[in-house]
Structure 1
């Protein structure tokens, strides 16, 4: 098989949670460029509409659905509707996330629950639904979790404490490993991308607070760019990664190499 064909996603349907902006939209651009039809979910319809128009300008077919992963009761019905209206989901990118910055001793319980519910519980439920409806019956699928280097290491004490976020992303790292082992003989691969610091709406406050420290402690001395996740996202979503599963791969400019 020519190498280019291993990366070809023509005829595939990719569901990307939190896909209306930031890293999710960048991943949608990458998968769409290689032929996938993309389904984007997010909480805000106006942002989804803007993302759909942006992708259409790039020649990418996108379908958009409002969905809140912390509303557990809505998830299964949302997936059923997507499958009914668009088709069987071949690729699931669990990108939606939430964060909260506060010293641990002062961290509000409702903020802790918000982060854990979106980053872990909602991710589990939508993954379960897609597995049951699409991937396990057909014996094929790609699951790509967007974790974080925050799930691989502790927090720099000079930065705002984010214990709930670090905990949730650490959970997602091991969720990736455990699910990968369970799915390995069922045709479904499960891997995660662990980004370092990328400029997004969610990281805006953190970067504004500690950009100098971030750059000083990143061997490449820069933040992530708009194309830096695309190659890995495509690899993990395609047949080019057919013998890869259970891997948590950092894209961080060298931070975790220190």
Structure 2
């Protein structure tokens, strides 16, 4: 099989949550530029609409703003997609949030906000979209769910982001559990555990902490859009046809150091 066929997503239908910026934007852009019809969702409608308009210069990109930290938002997004499509080939559960505070001062709100968006929405949005995913999957080509975890759910970080680290460990393991039980429905579930990429989340980290992180990264740099595009295309294409339940670090080796 030719490389361009092996890694192709042309003609596939994808939904990327948290798709208006950061890692979500990197993934959405990769899919659009390689021939998929891509829906992006984010809480802020203006940003979501603006990126969809920009990416539509290169292919098909449609904005469906939604706040999936709530069950109403999850239901809204699933219903809006079902109005437009009869199948969903690729679901990327990327929307996420973080919260930093010392152990003694960490608030309940910082726990619940992060858990609701980072873990709960992954499970229930996939559940609501199950009919569309099942419609897309077949024995020859499984539908794909790609959950965005984090290496902070694998390693012990130097940052006091308790709910974030716990939530991403939850996503990493939820990915394995979903993979086991959705595979019989012709849906392959895998995860990406990113390291440090340019995003609003990493922009909030102090310069000192960023320097410490980069110093501990064997490849000595942050991730770039092409780094995320490559793994996202791989997990959505025939190239990963025999990959199921994997959580793949994309972190320059940082998870090996702590």
Give me the TM-score of the superposition, normalised by structure 1: 0.93
Shift of 1:184: 2.2
Counterpart contact for 2:144–2:235, Cα < 8 Å:
yes
Match of 2:62 in 1: 63
Moved over 4 A (4+): none
Q: Distance in 1 between matches of 2:113 and 2:78?
A: 21
The equivalent of 2:233 in structure 1 is: 234
- Residues 43-54 of structure 1 aligned to structure 2 (within 5 Å): 43-54=43-54
2:88–2:135 Cα contact (<8 Å) kept: no
**1:209-234: CA deviation from partner (whole Å, max 9, x where unpaired):** 41211111111111111221110000
Deviations 1:187-215 (A, max 9, x none): 11111111111111111111534121111
Tell me how far apart the structure 1 counterparts of residues 51 and 212 of structure 2 sit (CA, whole Å).
32
CA contact (8 A) 1:13 1:87 kept: no
Compared CA separation, residues 97 and 120, structure 1 to 2 (3 A): same
2:157 aligned residue: 155
SS in 1 for 2:204: helix
Shift of 1:60: 1.9
Say if 1:176 and 1:248, in contact at 8 Å, map to a contact too: yes
Q: Give 1:135's aligned residue.
A: 133
Give the match's secondary structure for 1:66. Answer: coil
Structure 1 residue 2 displacement after superposition: 2.7
- 1:99 is aligned to 2:98: yes
For structure 1, the 5+ residue unaligned runs are none
Number of paired residues?
253
Contact 1:92–1:144 (8 Å) recurs in 2:
yes
1:13 aligns with 2:13: yes
The residue aligned with 2:77 is 78
TM (norm. structure 2) is 0.93
CA distance in 2, matches of 1:155, 1:100: 14
Pair 212,138 (structure 1): closer, same or farther in 2 beyond 3 Å: closer
Question: Would you say the 8 A contact 1:93–1:143 is kept in 2?
Answer: yes
SS at match of 1:75: helix
TM-superposition CA deviations, 1:148-185 (whole Å, max 9, x none): 000111112xx3x0010000000000001011111223
What SS does the aligned partner of 2:39 have?
strand
Unaligned runs of 5+ in 2: none
Query: For 1:123 and 1:229, how far apart are their aligned partners in 2?
Result: 19
Q: Pairwise mapping of residues 188-207 of structure 1 onto structure 2 (< 5 A)?
A: 188-207=187-206
CA-atom RMSD in angstroms:
1.4
